[in-house]
Structure 1
Amino acid sequence: MGKVNYIAHFNTVLETFYNDERIKQGHITLYLAFFHLWNRKFFAETLTINREIIMERAKIKSKTTYHNHLHDLHNWEYLTYYPSYHPLIGSKIKITLVCPKNGTTTGTQEVQNLDKCVPEPSQNLVPYNKLKTKENLNKKALAIFNEDEVFLFFKKNDWPEMEARKFYTYIKLKKWKTENWQIIAKIFAKNNFNLEEPKRTSPISGYVNHLKQMRDKK
């Protein structure tokens, strides 16, 4: 993606919001939550989003309100929404890059239509209002989780934030392929936050141990 001017984009979109009578408070807080994530991801072409985290940061409590505002922002071309119907794969968005008119400054920008400067993503993503079928739902997928999801999960369980960071770092370094990282986190907590790599056993090890136990009982 081309270089994004943080201040120019932010000022332009706020000015556009001010002059757009359709925009309500919820639209603004939701957009700001996305914009914050976009900035943290170094203005990536597309963002994988976690609904719970975005709702918390946007101060939106209703899923219906969240989806209504998200669809509005999509229809009004502030962003493009690519929904995922797979429970383990997050939905994606692409924020529309806004560009100040030539000859204006960030302090005296004129209101303009949003300029779709963001390149198309490399994947064949389909916007939600053009999606006809729920495809590839039966394909096995690895769990996609990021640091924010881990912190949120630990926060809900009243576990220390420091342990969340330690857990995320450990799993990332080990490159474990698991669809149930939450279960590992619970084991981690039960073990007083001491996480060890699972022991590798042969297919017959359990049978051998059983024979030893039977022999010792005689």
Structure 2
Amino acid sequence: MNYLKHLNAIFEKFRKDSRPNSTHLSLYFALLHLWNLHRFPGMFFLHRQDVMDLAKIGSKTTYHQCIKDLHHWGYMHYAPSHNPLKGSRVRMFDFGTSSGQVPDKQQTSDEQAVVPLINNNKPLLNTNKQGNSPSFENLEKYFETQGSDLREAKKFFDYYQKAGWRTKAGTPVKNWKQLVRAWLHKNANVYAVSENRDNLYTTKNKNYGKPL
């Protein structure tokens, strides 16, 4: 995936196409940003509200109409989900290639993909030398096996993505599955404490029989 070639090709495609309006373009580039964050997989999951916030679209009707238009016009493939915990599937097309399609398997080439940057303007892919950071697809599947959902997987992914896939001690992540289990265990404990807390508990012994 060559990001610059894709941008040049998509701008030219939009220039020649009279159907898309500014909302279509805003939505497309929000999807392109998410595709970049997920490291350009053949397919990824999304949640409507996340995309609407990125694209600055305030109406659900407008969002659904625009994403269906982009799908029918051949800019991407959209598979809606009726499960709020699962999210809809999106397959983006690489217009920087002759075929315009993205293979399911990870591409190998000498071209460097553009990825989100962290401190010191170093590519995120180079910050973790041990190379054991998972793809979002594999991470989402593992969260499912642990009985969790996509939103929790996204929180985990975003957290360690920003940290360069390093622990709080600054060491590279060696076992991300172990981190997932610890993450879910910690959140489960926080939830349990919140659910079981006695909000009427007090350390003072008051006599409520006395008049005010």
TM-score normalized by the length of structure 2: 0.54
Q: Match for residue 58 of structure 1?
A: 55
> Pairwise CA RMSD of aligned residues?
3.7
Establish whether residue 184 from structure 1 lines up as the match of residue 195 from structure 2.
no
Say whether the 8 Å CA contact 1:83–1:92 is kept in structure 2: yes
Structure 1 vs Structure 2: percent identity of aligned residues?
A: 34
Structure 1 ranges of 4+ moved more than 6 A: none
The counterpart of 2:101, out of the listed 117, 123, 126, is: 117
1:68-217 correspondence to structure 2 within 5 Å: 68-99=65-96, 115-119=99-103, 142-146=148-152, 172=180, 174-176=182-184, 184=191, 187=194
Q: CA deviation at 1:149?
A: 5.7
Alignment equivalent of 1:19, drawn from 16, 20, 30: 16
Note closer, same or farther for the CA distance 1:14–1:172 as it changes in structure 2 (3 Å cut): same
Structure 1 contact 53–149 (Cα < 8 Å) conserved = no
Q: 1:44, CA displacement in angstroms?
A: 0.9
Aligned 8 A contact 1:142 1:177 in 2: no
Question: Partner letter of residue 60 of structure 2?
Answer: K
Residue 147 of structure 1: CA displacement?
Answer: 6.8
- Per-residue deviation at 1:31? 0.5
1:14-53 matches, within 5 Å, as 14-53=11-50
Report the equivalent of 2:161.
none
Note the residue ranges of structure 1 that are not aligned, 5 or more in a row. Answer: 102-114, 122-140, 151-165, 191-218
* Structure with bigger gyration radius: 1
Paired with 2:192 and 2:96, the residues of 1 have a C-alpha distance of 44
How many residues are paired up?
137
Residue 111 of structure 1 corresponds to none
**CA spacing shift, 1:147–1:57, aligned 2, 3 Å:** farther
Q: CA deviation at 1:87?
A: 2.0
Residues of 1 paired with 2:192 and 2:58: CA distance? 26
Provide the C-alpha distance between the structure 2 equivalents of 1:8 and 1:45, rounded to a whole number of angstroms. 17
Listed one character per residue, the Cα deviations across residues 122-170 of structure 1 (whole Å, up to 9, x for unaligned) are xxxxxxxxxxxxxxxxxxx6311257668xxxxxxxxxxxxxxx9xx9x
Secondary structure, counterpart of 1:53 in structure 2: helix
What letter matches 2:103 in structure 1?
A: P
**One-letter identity of the residue aligned with 1:119:** P
TM-score, normalised via structure 1 length: 0.53
Local SS of the residue matching 1:35: helix
- For residues 52 and 99 of structure 1, do their structure 2 counterparts lie closer, same or farther at Cα, with a shift above 3 Å needed? same
Question: What is the Cα deviation at residue 52 of structure 1?
Answer: 0.6
